């Protein structure tokens, strides 16, 4: 993230998220959720992000991520999980987001609307190339916990971490201080619950792709649809018009 003190505070928030999540899932009606294997996501910073703090892009959640874990309320295990998540999100050399370029073809990331639109947006908006576009952004997700092998997210899993996810969202904006944040998530089912839980007021839009905008401590927040297919040119133009 940023300075050591900020990392410590953020990590405490993530530890609380894990503990509260385990407690909530334990009493959920769907008892099978307590037996699931989950994964934990930690924000990833491009190596040059701190220079100008231009952009954070948000997705919804990730599967098959590191570290995988079984639900626990053991504080030492939780501390260890957060430490592993943090260590996985950084690299000692190079850029933490170089994996996107590495697997662009190997794992078909070029077919991801999220990554395809992000790299085009960064190249156009900030004059970067296909080799270094990922160096200036931060990548995060609204939810930090998700089932390892389930492509659909049970409603209980969303609700069990909503309040803490909203807190972590505001923490990330406060610590990283981006000029722009683009939530490629959809408004109704994803961004709106998090924004409302965080107390961030937003204005809805009637654009083709931009659904809402908001401001938080000098950061411009742009919420877009997350289509499987879309006209990239129109999508990019509409997002860029709403950026600062």
Q: What is the pLDDT of residues 174-225, one digit of tens each?
A: 999 999 999 999 999 999 999 999 999 999 999 999 999 999 999 999 999 9
Residues 24, 30, 31, 36: is their CA dihedral positive or negative? negative
Q: Which domains does the chain have, with CATH numbers?
A: 4-241 (3.40.470)
Q: Looking at residue 3, what is its pLDDT?
A: 66
Tokens, residue 190: 């994803």
Which of 138, 34, 16, 131 minimizes the C-alpha distance to 82?
A: 16
* CA 173 to chain CA mean position, Å: 11
Is the pTM value of this prediction over 0.85?
A: yes
Per residue in 85-144, pLDDT (tens digit) is 999 999 877 899 999 999 999 999 999 999 999 999 999 999 999 999 999 999 999 999
Residues 187 and 172: their CA atoms lie apart, in Å, by 19
User: What are the tens digits of pLDDT across the range 34-91?
Assistant: 999 999 999 999 999 999 999 999 999 999 999 999 999 999 999 999 999 999 999 8
Handedness of CA 89, 90, 93, 95 (dihedral sign): positive
For residue 178, what pLDDT is reported?
A: 98
pLDDT band at 229 (very low <50, low <70, confident <90, very high): confident
| Percentage of residues in the chain having pLDDT higher than 70 | 99
Q: Please give the mean pLDDT across all residues of the chain.
A: 96
pLDDT band for position 230 (cuts 50, 70, 90):
confident
């Amino acid at each position: 993230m940023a300075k050591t003190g900020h990392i410590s505070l953020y990590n405490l928030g993530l530890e609380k998220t894990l503990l509260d999540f385990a407690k909530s899932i334990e009493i959920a009606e769907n008892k099978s959720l307590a037996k699931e294997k989950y994964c934990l996501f930690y924000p990833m910073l491009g190596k040059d992000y701190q220079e100008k703090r231009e952009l954070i892009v948000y997705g919804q959640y990730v599967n098959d991520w590191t570290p995988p874990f079984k639900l626990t309320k053991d504080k030492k295990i939780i501390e260890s999980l957060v430490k592993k998540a943090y260590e996985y999100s950084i690299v000692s050399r190079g850029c933490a987001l170089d994996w996107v370029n590495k697997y662009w073809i190997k794992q078909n990331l070029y077919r991801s609307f999220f990554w395809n639109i992000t790299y085009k947006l960064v190249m156009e908006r900030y004059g970067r190339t296909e080799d270094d576009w990922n160096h200036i952004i931060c990548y995060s997700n609204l939810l930090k916990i998700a089932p390892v092998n389930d492509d659909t997210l049970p409603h209980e899993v969303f609700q069990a971490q909503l309040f803490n996810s909203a807190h972590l969202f505001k923490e990330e904006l406060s610590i990283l201080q981006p000029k722009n944040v683009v939530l490629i998530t959809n408004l109704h089912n994803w961004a709106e619950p998090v924004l409302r839980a965080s107390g961030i007021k937003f204005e809805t839009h009637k654009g083709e792709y931009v659904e809402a905008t908001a401001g938080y401590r000098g950061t411009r927040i742009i919420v877009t649809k997350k289509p499987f297919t879309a006209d990239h040119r129109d999508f990019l133009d509409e997002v860029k018009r709403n950026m600062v």
